[in-house]
Each structure stands twice: as C-alpha cells, then as structure tokens.
Amino acid sequence: MSDHSEAVAEHVGGTTQTFLYVWIALLVMTGIEVLLAYEQVPTLIMLTALLGLSIIKAALIIAYFMHLKFEKLSLFLTLFPMLVLCIILMLVFMPDSMRSLTMRVVQ
C-alpha cells in the first residue's frame, strides 16, 4: 500500500492494529472492574472507579467500534443531545424508582 492509501485507510475506518489496541485496553479495564468487584474497596471509591471506567469504555466502543470517531461532527451533534436527554429522563424518574424500595409488599 502506498503512503496515501494507508493515510486514507486510517482516516476512513482505522487499522487492525488500532482496533487491537482498543480491544486490549477494553480487556484491561474490564479486568480492573472485575478485580474491584472482588476486593474489599470502600463503596464510594469502588463506584466512582467503576463509573469512570464504564464511561471510558463506552467512549472507546462508540468511537472505534461504532466508527463515530471517523464520522462528521454533525452526526455527533445529532446523537449527543439525545444522550443528554436520556440522562435527564433517568434522573427525573429516579425518585419514583427509589420509592418502590420502601413500599410494603402485599402478600
């Protein structure tokens, strides 16, 4: 392949080596998450670490395996507001879901 062809292949969809590095990073982060689940780590630290790792993993999956890293900015700007809307809706309905924990069970 010429240098120009390799540059175009990298821009359009990434290379096999790039996907391999991302996959290995995802495996390492998953291993850290499993390790945190089995270790006696304070809850706040564990949840913060798990949430942070999950966000990073989701970003890597979206960027590389869903190929959004290589898309135009307009596609990102179309999808990002919907993500924000979903998060806001989850936060709006969270009190109702937590209320079910304190309700009495009828037998």
Q: pLDDT tens for residues 10-19?
A: 555 678 898 8
Contacts of 57 (CB under 8 A, 6+ apart): 26, 29, 30
Per cent of the chain over pLDDT 90 is 20
Least confident of 23-27, 44-48, 76-80: 76-80
Yes or no: say if 57 and 30 are a contact pair by the CB < 8 Å rule.
yes
Q: First vs last Cα of the chain: how many Å apart?
A: 71
Does pLDDT of 34 surpass 80? yes
CA angle 55, 68, 78 (to 5 degrees): 90
Q: Would you place residue 2 in the very low, low, confident or very high pLDDT band (cuts 50, 70, 90)?
A: low
Does pLDDT of 9 surpass 60? no
